[in-house]
């Protein structure tokens, strides 16, 4: 834990140093300089920076310390980064999600570094008995400008540790034109450990004496154990114990299941294959994707609950030059993090220690506290490196399971989920259906738009399930005079939750694909149609659930740049085409163009994707580029290949043979450009993903005349002549 007894809570203002000395005393005691929870400098010159948020591959274990290092004036390749354990009192909120890490921590990390820099300069100035203003810091030392004297941070640490910590508002931040680190290409701080196979991830954790556990749950979500062949399982080689865990029927909390403890992961996994459980499957065991499709078609024919209405769409349709109707659908999706869910837990008395790859360690701690009636201060959470999050690890079911098993077992336990467990016990991106009708006039303008959105309600139909909601502010709402959004809900037991770019990952596909249909109906180029629809440069009041204004100016900026980069409008032979889409999500503006080809027999290839994004300034240029490329490849993987289907109330798919991920051989070149500005920086984990699916589908239309109105693309026969 950073600083131990020396640490002062970040933002604690105006306190005097813990070791204030009477004047005149000479004190040679070696001290650690740790003005806040994020920085530790020892007399040997070692600088340790602490990264507060979980690292899921989004790169913030590198970029958050980069921000501190910039203001601290140290060389980034000379520092050591530590991952923070859960301690929100010292660090503030610790989570990875919403593409928020940079947006919420940029200023705080700058101030943390600036506070330390200010104190080090003050310590040097006091030591030299010179004015502070004659001193400056860079490359890990303080310099006295008039004489050229210098003292390293190591030498200054013990003196700086004695000084009062200034408040955030008292310290000066650097002028961004003087940034040495931010905006550069910086490699991930764990790269060497990753490429040499060091222990990093949750699944790598080992505690002496631990048992290895698996946990079998009812395939119909929330079902309960009636009986199981425990006696037989306990005779299997390497099995140490097997027992039923009583739980509820809420998938994000502790549910009923059978735990098997083994002397190795293999002993537990192989015993799991011989497990026979009689389940009370509950009342949703007859649900299926087929039934959902049929219900959606029926509901789509009727009027839904009106969520938003502007003008009069029916009157607009009646007088329109051209009206188009189209039905769209997209499936449930799994997260499929490459590291399956897992957690290691040790329970001693009423104290719990947890090692977990979680995006919300605070939520995990709270869930354990609530489930077992323990005080949160008794629950320690170590946040490991995480082999992919994508929103799956915002839930902490694997944590509460591991603790339940460890409590019952009386030994430390490492719980590992098989790939089948992982794929069948997810919080899926919800499926959805859209019944569209829209109109254009004779001048290439979109004039009216109606969407009947058929979504899902969890175990009811009064409100949308998690991540199954649609915003009433999404374009073209607010951009055309006649607009109506209706909603109907299908009851489901399928647990749903956020998947990278929640909401947006589905809405961009339907909205930007149908908008492309309308551009085509108007006989207008899709980019021109979009720019016309967006209208004058201006800002609209906050949208996207974030309280950030929607800047038409910034949206048009990325659209125009990507069109130029992709050579939009170039003449392409039949069978090859470009498709365009744009979307605002997570406070980021992205426009993308995909160039695809389809052979006459229907074989699809994505050649290139051009992306232009605007998220303000770029923090780590290497990390930023790879997040955009990764988001695009993720979006392509899902749109092209993936669907989760439900039969008899359970997930059908179980592994990568029936839920494929995109492979390197199908990966396009991805060309990324950023429009940078001094707007407040926002995140890149998610906003590049949503435009990809519609860009590719619009490209398929341009190439073949075939409109893709449901995903995944692989379900469609793309043969053309």
Partner 1 sequence: MPSYQLQINGQSLPVDALADTPLLWILRDQLGLVGTKFGCGIGQCGACTIHVDGTPLRSCQLPVKTAAGLKITTIEGLSSDGSHPLQQAWIEHDVPQCGYCQAGQIMTAAALLQNNPHPSDDEIDSALAGNLCRCGTYLRIRAAVKTAATNGGLA
The residue ranges that bind partner 1 (CB under 8 A) are: 55-59, 185-188, 190-192, 194-201, 203-204, 206, 212, 237-238, 264-267, 269-270, 336-340, 385-390, 416, 418-419, 622-623, 626-627, 629-634, 637, 655-657, 661-665, 667, 669-670
CA angle 262, 263, 266 (to 5 degrees): 70
Is residue 66 within 8 Å of 191, Cβ to Cβ?
no
> Could you tell me the smallest distance in angstroms from the CB atom of residue 670 to partner 1?
6
Q: What HEC string does 642-709 produce?
A: CCECEECCEECCCCCCCCCCCCHHHCCEEEEEECCCCCCCCCCCCCCCCCHHHHHHHHHHHHHCCCCC
Tally Cβ neighbours within 10 Å of residue 580.
29
Q: Which is nearer to partner 1, 206 or 370 (CB)?
A: 206
Q: Which is nearer to partner 1, 29 or 669 (CB)?
A: 669
**For residue 65, how far is the Cα from the chain centroid?**
19
> Could you tell me the smallest distance in angstroms from the CB atom of residue 584 to partner 1?
22
Is residue 590 within 8 Å of 611, Cβ to Cβ?
yes
Phi, psi (5° rounding) for residue 317?
A: -65, -40
> Could you tell me the smallest distance in angstroms from the CB atom of residue 349 to partner 1?
28
> Could you tell me the smallest distance in angstroms from the CB atom of residue 433 to partner 1?
28
> Could you tell me the smallest distance in angstroms from the CB atom of residue 239 to partner 1?
12
Q: Which is nearer to partner 1, 137 or 336 (CB)?
A: 336
DSSP line for 233-280: HHTSTTEEEEEEEP-BS-TTS-B-EEEEEESSHHHHHHHHHT--EEEE
**Which ranges constitute the DSSP H helices of 8-134?**
60-72, 88-91, 101-128
Q: Which is nearer to partner 1, 237 or 569 (CB)?
A: 237
DSSP H or E segment with residue 217: strand 211-217
Is residue 469 within 8 Å of 299, Cβ to Cβ?
no
Q: Which is nearer to partner 1, 277 or 336 (CB)?
A: 336
> Could you tell me the smallest distance in angstroms from the CB atom of residue 493 to partner 1?
27
> Could you tell me the smallest distance in angstroms from the CB atom of residue 1 to partner 1?
25
Q: Which is nearer to partner 1, 363 or 635 (CB)?
A: 635
Tally Cβ neighbours within 10 Å of residue 244.
18
Give CA separation, 472 vs 98, 181, 284, 506, 626, in Å: 19, 40, 31, 15, 32
> Could you tell me the smallest distance in angstroms from the CB atom of residue 416 to partner 1?
8
> Could you tell me the smallest distance in angstroms from the CB atom of residue 675 to partner 1?
21
> Could you tell me the smallest distance in angstroms from the CB atom of residue 494 to partner 1?
22
Phi, psi (5° rounding) for residue 597?
A: -135, 150
Q: Which is nearer to partner 1, 61 or 452 (CB)?
A: 61
Q: Which is nearer to partner 1, 139 or 198 (CB)?
A: 198
> Could you tell me the smallest distance in angstroms from the CB atom of residue 83 to partner 1?
13
> Could you tell me the smallest distance in angstroms from the CB atom of residue 499 to partner 1?
12
Is residue 620 within 8 Å of 184, Cβ to Cβ?
yes
Please name which of 240, 45, 79, 21 lies closest in space to residue 154, comparing C-alpha atoms. Answer: 45
Q: Which is nearer to partner 1, 265 or 710 (CB)?
A: 265
Is residue 432 within 8 Å of 511, Cβ to Cβ?
no
Token pair of 601 as six digits: 């027999």
Q: Which is nearer to partner 1, 432 or 613 (CB)?
A: 613
CA angle 666, 504, 661 (to 5 degrees): 25
Q: Which is nearer to partner 1, 281 or 401 (CB)?
A: 401
Query: Which residues 6+ apart lie within 8 Å of 708 measured at CB?
Result: 513, 697, 700, 701, 716
Residues in the chain, total: 721
Query: Which residues 6+ apart lie within 8 Å of 325 measured at CB?
Result: 435, 436, 437
Token pair of 170 as six digits: 């008292």
Q: Which is nearer to partner 1, 90 or 358 (CB)?
A: 358
Is residue 317 within 8 Å of 376, Cβ to Cβ?
no
> Could you tell me the smallest distance in angstroms from the CB atom of residue 141 to partner 1?
27
Q: Which is nearer to partner 1, 293 or 671 (CB)?
A: 671
Please name which of 708, 488, 679, 491 lies closest in space to residue 596, comparing C-alpha atoms. Answer: 708
Q: Which is nearer to partner 1, 268 or 313 (CB)?
A: 268
C-alpha 191/C-alpha 333 separation (Å) is 30
C-alpha 140/C-alpha 120 separation (Å) is 10
Q: Which is nearer to partner 1, 251 or 387 (CB)?
A: 387
> Could you tell me the smallest distance in angstroms from the CB atom of residue 631 to partner 1?
8
> Could you tell me the smallest distance in angstroms from the CB atom of residue 204 to partner 1?
4
Q: Which is nearer to partner 1, 103 or 267 (CB)?
A: 267
> Could you tell me the smallest distance in angstroms from the CB atom of residue 139 to partner 1?
23
Is residue 626 within 8 Å of 687, Cβ to Cβ?
no
> Could you tell me the smallest distance in angstroms from the CB atom of residue 209 to partner 1?
13
Is residue 581 within 8 Å of 688, Cβ to Cβ?
no
Query: Torsion over CA of 568, 572, 576 and 579, rounded to 10 degrees?
Result: 20
- By three-state DSSP, how is residue 299 classified? helix
Q: Which is nearer to partner 1, 90 or 342 (CB)?
A: 342
DSSP line for 130-162: --GGGEEEETTEEEETTT--EEEHHHHHHHHTT
């Amino acid at each position: 834990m950073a600083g131990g007894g020396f640490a002062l809570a970040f933002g604690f203002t105006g306190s005097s140093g813990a070791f204030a000395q009477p004047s005149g005393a000479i004190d040679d005691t070696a001290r650690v300089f740790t003005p806040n929870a994020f920085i530790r400098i020892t007399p040997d010159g070692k600088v340790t920076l602490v990264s507060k948020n979980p690292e899921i591959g989004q790169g913030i274990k590198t970029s958050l310390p980069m921000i501190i290092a910039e203001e601290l004036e140290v060389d980034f390749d000379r520092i050591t980064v530590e991952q923070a354990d859960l301690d929100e009192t010292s660090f503030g909120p610790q989570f990875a999600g919403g593409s928020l890490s940079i947006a919420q921590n940029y200023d705080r990390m700058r101030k943390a570094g600036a506070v330390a820099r200010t104190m080090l300069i003050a310590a040097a100035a006091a030591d030299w008995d010179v004015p502070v203003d004659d001193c400056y810091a860079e490359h890990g030392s303080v310099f006295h400008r008039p004489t050229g004297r210098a003292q390293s941070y190591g030498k200054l640490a013990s003196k700086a540790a004695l000084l009062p910590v200034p408040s955030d508002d008292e310290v000066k931040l650097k002028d961004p034109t003087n940034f040495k680190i931010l905006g550069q290409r910086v490699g991930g701080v764990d790269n060497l450990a990753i490429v040499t196979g060091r222990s990093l991830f949750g699944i790598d954790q080992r505690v002496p004496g631990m048992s290895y556990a698996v946990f079998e749950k009812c395939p119909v979500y929330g079902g309960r154990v009636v009986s199981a062949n425990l006696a037989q399982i306990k005779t299997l080689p390497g099995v140490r114990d097997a027992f039923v865990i009583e739980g509820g029927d809420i998938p994000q909390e502790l549910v009923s299941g059978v735990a098997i403890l083994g002397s190795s992961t293999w002993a537990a996994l192989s015993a799991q294959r011989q497990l026979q459980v009689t389940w009370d499957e509950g009342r949703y065991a007859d649900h299926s994707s087929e039934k959902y499709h049929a219900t959606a078609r029926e509901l789509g024919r009727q009027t839904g609950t009106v969520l938003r209405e502007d003008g009069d769409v029916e009157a607009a349709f009646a007088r329109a030059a051209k009206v188009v109707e189209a039905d769209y659908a997209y499936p449930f999706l799994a997260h499929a993090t490459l590291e399956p869910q897992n957690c290691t837990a040790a329970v001693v008395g009423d104290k719990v220690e947890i090692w977990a790859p979680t995006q919300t360690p605070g939520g995990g701690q709270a869930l354990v506290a609530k489930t077992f009636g323990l005080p949160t201060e008794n629950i320690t959470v170590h946040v490991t490196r995480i082999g992919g999050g994508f929103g799956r690890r915002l839930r902490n079911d694997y944590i509460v399971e591991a603790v339940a098993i460890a409590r019952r077992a009386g030994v430390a336990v490492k719980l590992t989920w098989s790939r089948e467990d992982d794929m069948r016990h997810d919080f899926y991106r919800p499926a959805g259906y859209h019944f569209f009708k829209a109109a254009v006039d004779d001048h290439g303008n979109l004039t009216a738009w109606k969407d009947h959105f058929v979504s899902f309600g969890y175990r009811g139909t009064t409100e949308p399930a998690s991540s199954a909601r649609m915003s009433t502010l999404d374009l073209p709402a607010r951009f055309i005079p006649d607009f109506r959004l209706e909603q109907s809900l299908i009851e489901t037991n399928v647990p749903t939750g956020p998947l990278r770019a929640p909401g947006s990952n589905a809405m961009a596909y339907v909205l930007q694909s149908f908008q492309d249909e309308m551009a085509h109906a108007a006989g207008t180029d899709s980019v021109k149609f979009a720019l016309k629809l967006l209208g004058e440069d201006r800002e609209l009041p906050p949208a996207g659930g974030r309280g950030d204004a929607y800047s038409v100016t910034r949206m048009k900026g990325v659209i125009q740049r990507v069109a130029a980069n992709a050579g939009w409008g170039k003449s392409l032979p039949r069978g090859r085409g470009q498709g365009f889409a744009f979307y605002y999500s997570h406070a980021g503006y992205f426009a993308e163009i995909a160039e695809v080809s389809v052979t006459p027999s229907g074989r699809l290839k994505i050649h290139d994707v051009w992306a232009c994004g605007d998220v303000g300034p770029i923090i780590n240029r290497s990390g930023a580029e790879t997040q955009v490329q990764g988001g695009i490849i993720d979006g392509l993987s899902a749109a092209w290949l993936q669907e989760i289907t439900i039969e008899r109330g359970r997930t059908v798919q179980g592994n990568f043979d029936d839920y494929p991920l995109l492979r390197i051989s199908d990966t396009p070149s991805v060309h990324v450009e950023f429009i940078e500005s001094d707007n407040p920086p926002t995140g890149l984990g998610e906003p590049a993903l949503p435009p990809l699916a519609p860009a590719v589908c619009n490209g398929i239309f341009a190439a073949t005349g075939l409109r893709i109105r449901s995903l995944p693309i692989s379900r469609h026969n793309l043969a053309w002549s």
